């Protein structure tokens, strides 16, 4: 990698010292709201699996860049040279971050997250080997790593997860091999998530690759959750069969909200087919009757003016994560996840979904649960209204996986729902779902303690809280006496007014 003067690394901190410095430097860590109790407290953000907060240093780097902002398709003026050089550097830096050999792989940006990239990859692989009509995914996938393959990839089959004596763990490699054997020659690719967005369970992606390659299938990794939590090695392993063919992730889950989705894929795949998207910037020459696509990567995959500013944020965040070292990030992540999990397991009234023995089945960053006899929406509302703890609830865009795990606690309701209507909307059944707490590098043990304290209070005072809420027609729990108005905290027009006064 060429040295880059915009981001000097020689005297920068690294490892633990940098982690400690960076973790307190995120925008929104001191945001306050007034609660149902009348108190005003600091928000505790436990929803990083949905979107992470913005890394302050990355944001400041992008503000600095704005002085030189220009379109990367312009070439001759000074700012365009700076923009183009920096934008190119980010692509190379990301390849380095996921250990993808730049001679073999390219990195390109698309859309605003993983979803767009996954649709692109599904179309690419289908165009590449149309004669192979099957795609294997696991049952634990986010819809973004399922529906694009159903629509563009072929016939999708869902591999069950390892049952670990009835709790659900990571993808079951033995069962996956059975599918690969049975449909040998027909499976085009296997696409699995690196980390489940529901349970935080980590899949052995390089072993999945080794297995899939043994049967001639390619391997795609949904790294939406993986990238900010676990070190990734796409290539250069001792056994090259363990290399990953394509990997997709979201910048907004990697401490850079507003940044693009990222695809890293083998150039050999992309160079033999016409790029999926066409337009400016990806052609060498255009005539009224035909056009010639450039052979240059990533240009040929990035039609149109890219999200340059978002890419700058992302490149800066990735660079900082790499300077800290992802081994260290993972260690911290597992430590705080286990710290929380252990305390949650102490309450019999709390059901945690997925395998909870993290020695046999490691997890990072995410825990989904329910409190027995309480609906997930009510728990999430109380955590918010009384404790200023931001969590996600419902089904996390992973209906098949969530439904499978809810069998553990809600088998009767599931059976009844099946009989009622076929196409039932999930939010109309208030029991359908879970509560999810998730961690980013800014979360502290003190915040986990506050969450555990809140959880214990809710468990102990379930009936008191139930009386304070009603459900509206959208299935949301509403406090009977307390209401929140977003414009008390942020109004775009008011903010603009202050700016232009
Ligand atoms: C595992 C996983 N895959 C895919 C996605 C989709 O990502 P995006 O919404 O950024 O397109 C998500 C988002 O939550 C996810 O967690």
Instruction: Examine the domain organization and report whether 404 and 423 are in the same domain.
Output: yes
Burial classification of residue 356, based on how many CB atoms lie within 10 Å of its CB (0-12 exposed, 13-18 middle, 19 or more buried) = buried
pLDDT of residue 14: 82
Low-confidence ranges of the chain (pLDDT < 70): 1-12, 163-166, 420-428
CA distance 400 to 398: 6
Q: Return the sign of the alpha-carbon dihedral for residues 412, 417, 420, 422.
A: negative
Query: What is the residue range of 183's domain?
Result: 65-323
Question: Residue with the nearest Cα to atom 12 of ligand 1?
Answer: 224
Q: How far is the CA of 112 from the centre of ligand 1 (A)?
A: 10
pLDDT of residue 199: 97
Looking at 258, 290, 323, the residue that finishes a domain is 323
Closest CA to 108 of 220, 263, 282: 263
Pocket of ligand 1, candidates 223, 250, 364, 366: which has the most ligand atoms within 8 Å of its Cβ, to mutate? 250
Q: Is 501 a domain residue? A: no
Instruction: Examine the domain organization and report whether 455 and 406 are in the same domain.
Output: yes
Q: Is 26 a domain residue? A: no
Q: How far is the CA of 221 from the centre of ligand 1 (A)?
A: 12
Start-end of H helices in 67-142: 78-97, 114-128
Question: Residue with the nearest Cα to atom 14 of ligand 1?
Answer: 50
- Cβ atoms of 413 and 63 within 8 Å: the answer is no
Pocket of ligand 1, candidates 110, 139, 142, 148: which has the most ligand atoms within 8 Å of its Cβ, to mutate? 142
Question: Residue with the nearest Cα to atom 10 of ligand 1?
Answer: 113
Instruction: Examine the domain organization and report whether 139 and 243 are in the same domain.
Output: yes
* Domain harbouring 92, CATH code: 3.40.640.10
Q: Tell me, using a 6 A CB cutoff, whether residue 142 lines ligand 1.
A: yes
CA 186 to chain centre: 29
Q: Is 413 a domain residue? A: yes
pLDDT of residue 414: 81
Instruction: Examine the domain organization and report whether 264 and 365 are in the same domain.
Output: no
Instruction: Examine the domain organization and report whether 137 and 193 are in the same domain.
Output: yes
Q: How far is the CA of 291 from the centre of ligand 1 (A)?
A: 35
Instruction: Examine the domain organization and report whether 115 and 182 are in the same domain.
Output: yes
pLDDT of residue 1: 42
Q: Tell me, using a 6 A CB cutoff, whether residue 119 lines ligand 1.
A: no
Instruction: Examine the domain organization and report whether 387 and 314 are in the same domain.
Output: no
Number of domains composing the chain: 2
The 3-state DSSP class for residue 222 equals: strand
Q: Is 54 a domain residue? A: no
> pLDDT per residue over 94-153, tens digit each?
999 999 999 999 999 999 999 999 999 999 999 999 999 999 999 999 999 999 999 999
pLDDT of residue 161: 85
Helix/strand/coil percent split, the chain, to 5 = 40, 20, 40
Q: Tell me, using a 6 A CB cutoff, whether residue 144 lines ligand 1.
A: yes
Beta-bridged to residue 371, according to DSSP, are: 350
User: 397 catalytic, yes or no?
Assistant: yes
pTM of the model: 0.95
Q: How far is the CA of 392 from the centre of ligand 1 (A)?
A: 14
- Cβ atoms of 126 and 153 within 8 Å: the answer is yes
pLDDT of residue 428: 62
Q: Is 236 a domain residue? A: yes
């Amino acid at each position: 990698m060429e040295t880059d003067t915009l981001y000097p690394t020689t005297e920068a901190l690294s490892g633990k010292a940098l982690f400690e410095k960076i973790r307190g430097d995120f925008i929104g860590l001191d945001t306050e709201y007034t609660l149902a109790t009348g108190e005003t407290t600091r928000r505790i953000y436990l929803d990083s699996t949905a979107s992470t907060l913005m890394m302050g240093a990355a944001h400041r780097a992008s503000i600095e860049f704005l002085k030189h902002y220009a379109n990367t398709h312009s070439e001759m003026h000074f700012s365009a040279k700076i923009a183009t050089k920096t934008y190119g550097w980010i692509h190379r830096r990301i390849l380095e971050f996921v250990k993808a050999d730049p001679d073999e792989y390219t990195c390109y940006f698309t859309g605003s997250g993983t979803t767009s990239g996954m649709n692109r990859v599904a179309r690419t692989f289908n165009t590449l080997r149309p004669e192979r009509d099957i795609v294997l995914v696991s049952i634990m996938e986010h819809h973004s790593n399922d529906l694009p393959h159903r629509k563009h990839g072929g016939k999708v089959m869902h591999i069950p997860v390892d049952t670990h004596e009835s709790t659900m763990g990571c993808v079951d490699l033995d069962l996956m091999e059975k599918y690969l054997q049975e449909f040998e020659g027909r499976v085009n690719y296997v696409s699995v998530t690196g980390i489940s967005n529901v349970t935080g369970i980590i899949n052995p992606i390089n072993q999945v690759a080794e297995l899939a390659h043994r049967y001639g299938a390619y391997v795609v990794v949904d790294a939406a959750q993986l990238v900010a939590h676990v070190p990734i090695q796409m290539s250069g392993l001792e056994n090259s069969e363990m290399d990953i063919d394509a990997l997709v992730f979201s910048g907004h889950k990697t401490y850079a909200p507003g940044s693009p989705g990222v695809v890293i894929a083998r150039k050999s795949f992309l160079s033999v087919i016409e790029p999926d998207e066409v337009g400016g910037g990806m052609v060498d020459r255009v005539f009224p009757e035909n056009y010639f696509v450039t052979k240059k990567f990533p240009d040929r995959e990035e039609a149109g003016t890219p999200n340059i500013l978002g890419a700058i944020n992302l490149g800066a965040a990735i660079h900082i994560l790499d300077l800290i070292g992802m081994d260290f990030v993972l260690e911290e992540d597992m430590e705080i996840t286990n710290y929380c999990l252990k305390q949650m397991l102490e309450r019999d009234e709390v059901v945690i979904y997925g395998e909870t023995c993290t020695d046999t089945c490691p997890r990072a960053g995410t825990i989904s649960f329910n409190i027995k006899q309480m609906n997930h929406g009510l728990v999430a509302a109380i955590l918010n209204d009384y404790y200023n703890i931001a969590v996600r609830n419902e089904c996390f865009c992973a209906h098949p996986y969530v439904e499978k795990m809810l069998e553990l606690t809600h088998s009767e309701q599931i059976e009844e729902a099946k009989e009622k209507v076929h196409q039932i909307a999930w939010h109309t059944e208030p029991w359908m779902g879970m509560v999810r707490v998730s961690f980013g590098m800014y979360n502290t043990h003190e915040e986990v303690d506050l969450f555990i304290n809140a959880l214990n209070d809710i468990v102990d005072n379930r009936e008191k809280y139930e009386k304070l809420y009603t459900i509206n027609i959208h299935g949301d729990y509403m406090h009977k006496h307390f209401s929140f108005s977003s414009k008390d905290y942020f109004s775009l027009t008011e903010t603009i007014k202050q700016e232009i006064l």
